[in-house]
């Protein structure tokens, strides 16, 4: 059989891309855009106690749980990390990230800052943290208003929280401004490509096998 170094994941270690951004910045939109360009990316689906928004599907966007169901998963050690964000609980199942990366897969997920830092702590060499910024606070307000999911008081609260979250960008490996969607998606794609093709991610055994 011909020996090659080809393979989306086979020659390289698995890894996880964690995307964080204040609510309304566009991380869901960007993740969808980048997943259509990188179909091998697997999305880690979190659990949440918040209600589904219009168009969201259980099992695709989140696993929507009651408080009791969420608590019993905490008690059963089901989550790798969980946090309270905007008054609801969100948790990452252990199998969502850790087991997939260990199996050599590429994972993308959207987590808040504390979740992102927990992933980096656990997988320092295999996690890339990307912070997405809105072009301005005014643009963020317009996106939150345009999305029409929150009332004015909730939007003001989210904007205050956004200012606090944005200051934590320093913990991230990359920052992408989501100004024009196509441009931001292309930038995100470039970051993913560069990280995936980084030489330190290649498995020496595979290379040796190819040249022997
Ligand atoms: P998040 O997941 O960060 O809460 P969404 O992906 O739901 O944000 O996006 C919030 C709103 O902003 C949506 O209505 C989306 O269509 C819009 N949006 C996303 N990216 C852009 C962009 N680059 N320019 C203008 N509107 C955008
Ligand atoms: P939303 O309700 O807008 O979908 O998400 C609210 C926030 O929760 C976002 O910042 C999102 O990244 C974060 N989030 C979603 N799932 C998880 C998770 O499993 N763990 C943590 N820590 N944050 C999450």
Site to substitute for ligand 1 among 19, 43, 143, 148, most atoms within 8 A of C-beta: 143
Ligand 2 closest atom vs CA 27: 12
Q: 153-171: per-residue pLDDT in tens?
A: 989 988 999 999 999 999 9
In a domain, 62, yes or no: no
Domain count, the chain: 1
Instruction: Give the pLDDT band (50/70/90) at residue 184.
Output: very high
Residues 6+ positions from 112 with CB-CB distance below 8 Å: 20, 83, 85, 90, 165
pLDDT number for residue 107: 96
Domain membership flag for residue 119:
yes
CB 5 within 8 A of CB 11: yes
Instruction: Check pLDDT > 90 for residue 203.
Output: no
Q: What is the CATH number of the domain that holds 17?
A: 3.40.50.300
Do the domain assignments include residue 134?
yes
Higher-confidence residue of 7 and 18: namely: 18
148 Cα–ligand 2 center, Å: 19
> Does some domain include residue 137?
yes
Is there a domain that residue 38 lies in? Answer: yes
In short, whether 46's Cβ falls inside 6 Å of ligand 2 is yes
Domain that holds residue 170: 5-44+106-211
Over the stretch 39-96, which tens digit does the pLDDT of each residue have?
Answer: 999 999 999 999 998 889 999 999 999 999 999 999 999 999 999 988 899 999 988 8
Residue 82 lies in a domain: no
């Amino acid at each position: 059989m011909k020996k090659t170094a080809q393979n989306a994941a086979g020659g390289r270690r698995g890894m996880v891309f964690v995307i964080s951004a204040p609510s309304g910045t566009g991380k869901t939109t960007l993740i969808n855009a980048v997943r259509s360009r990188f179909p091998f990316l697997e999305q880690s689906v979190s659990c949440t106690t918040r209600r589904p928004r219009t168009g969201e599907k259980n099992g695709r966007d989140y696993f929507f749980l009651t408080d009791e169901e969420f608590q019993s998963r905490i008690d059963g050690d089901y989550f790798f990390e969980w946090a309270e964000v905007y008054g609801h609980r969100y948790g990452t199942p252990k199998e969502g990230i850790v087991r997939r990366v260990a199996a050599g897969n590429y994972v993308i997920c959207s987590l808040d800052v504390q979740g992102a830092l927990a992933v980096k702590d656990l997988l320092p060499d295999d996690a890339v943290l990307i912070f997405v910024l809105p072009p301005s606070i005014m643009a963020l307000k317009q996106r939150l208003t345009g999305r029409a999911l929150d009332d004015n008081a909730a939007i003001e609260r989210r904007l205050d929280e956004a200012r606090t979250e944005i200051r934590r960008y320093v913990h991230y490996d990359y920052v992408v401004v989501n100004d024009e969607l196509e441009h931001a998606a292309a930038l995100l794609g470039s970051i993913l490509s560069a990280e995936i093709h980084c030489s330190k991610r290649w498995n020496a055994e595979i290379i040796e096998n190819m040249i022997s």
